[in-house]
Amino acid sequence: MSDKPALYLASTSPRRRELLGQMGVQLSTLLVDVDETLHDNEDAGAYVQRLSRDKAAAGWGLVQRQELLQLPVLGADTTVVLDGQVLGKPSNQEQCAATLLALSGRVHQVMTSVTIRLGNMVSTELSVTDVTFRTLSEDEVIRYWHTGEPQDKAGGYGIQGYGAVFVEAISGSYSGVVGLPIEKTVILLNQFNVPFWQKV
């Protein structure tokens, strides 16, 4: 099997890299910087799709500027939504506790958008998953903050890590909650002729 990449991942997220690796996709990563500010009156679905397109576009721009091998670029973004409101990444213990206690005992949505770009060809897929939290105590959300896990996570938790103990049920894509919906990503890989199952 060839070790040459078939795709650029416009993200340094270890979770997205692992999920693409699970699919057997040979890839290289690109470090991109995209403004993630929510626009006025922008709904959550439009927001997360815009960010995935912006990340893919930023990655494609790097490919051109650095004269890299022209391969498809994948950009993705995940956001947590409660009552239509986007919940960001907590920057301190108070924000984390407020976010998790708001999710306590309730159903929220995790939206992950995936975009692949190659030149002027751009395609986007959106995954929406309902996640139900059990009732949480203030003590356990504070203890969770001190694990260090919530600080770079949309909605303040990671379902693939310690945050799994909060989750009572999900309806939809588990991998989408982690950060890259496999069932949507494979649609895009096929559209752009990106091979998977390349690592055995």
- Cα gap 157→114, rounded to integer Å: 20
DSSP 92: S
The answer to whether residues 10 and 73 touch, using CB atoms and an 8 Å cutoff, is yes
Given a cut of 80, is residue 127 above it in pLDDT? yes
Considering the domain boundaries, does residue 199 fall inside one?
no
Backbone angles phi, psi at 163, to 5 degrees: -65, -10
Q: Which domain holds residue 77?
A: 7-191
Q: What is the pLDDT of residue 1?
A: 42
CA atoms in the 13 A half-sphere facing the CB of 128: 11
94 in a structural domain: yes
* Tens digits of residue pLDDT in 19-68: 999 999 999 999 999 999 999 999 999 999 999 999 999 999 999 999 99
CA dihedral for 116, 194, 65, 62, sign (positive or negative)? positive
Q: Determine which one of 33, 35, 40, 77 is catalytic.
A: 77
pLDDT at 180 over 50: yes
Average pLDDT, stretch 78-90?
95
Which residues, listed in sequence order, are joined to residue 126 by a DSSP beta bridge? 113
198 in a structural domain: no
Is residue 110 included in any domain, yes or no?
yes
Name the residue among 95, 96, 107, 104 with its Cα closest to residue 177.
Answer: 107
Q: Rounded to whole angstroms, how far apart are CA atoms 121 and 116?
A: 8
The strand pair at 73-82 and 27-29 is best described as: unpaired
Predicted pLDDT of residue 2: 52
Cα-Cα-Cα-Cα torsion 116, 118, 121, 124, nearest 10 degrees, comes to 0
Helix axes 93-103, 138-145, angle to 10 degrees: 130
Q: Is residue 1 part of a domain?
A: no
∠ CA(37), CA(19), CA(45), 5° rounding? Answer: 30
77 is catalytic: yes
- pLDDT tens per residue across span 55-69: 999 999 999 999 999
Whichever domain contains 158, its CATH number is: 3.90.950.10
The per-residue pLDDT for range 89-114, each reduced to its tens digit, is 999 999 999 999 999 999 999 999 99
196 lies in a domain?
no
3-class secondary structure, 81: strand
Residue 112 lies in a domain: yes
User: 168 pLDDT exceeds 90?
Assistant: yes
Hey, what amino acid is at 165?
V
Q: Tally the domains of the chain.
A: 1
Question: Considering the domain boundaries, does residue 43 fall inside one?
Answer: yes
Work out whether strand 73-82 and strand 7-9 pair parallel, antiparallel, or are unpaired.
Answer: parallel
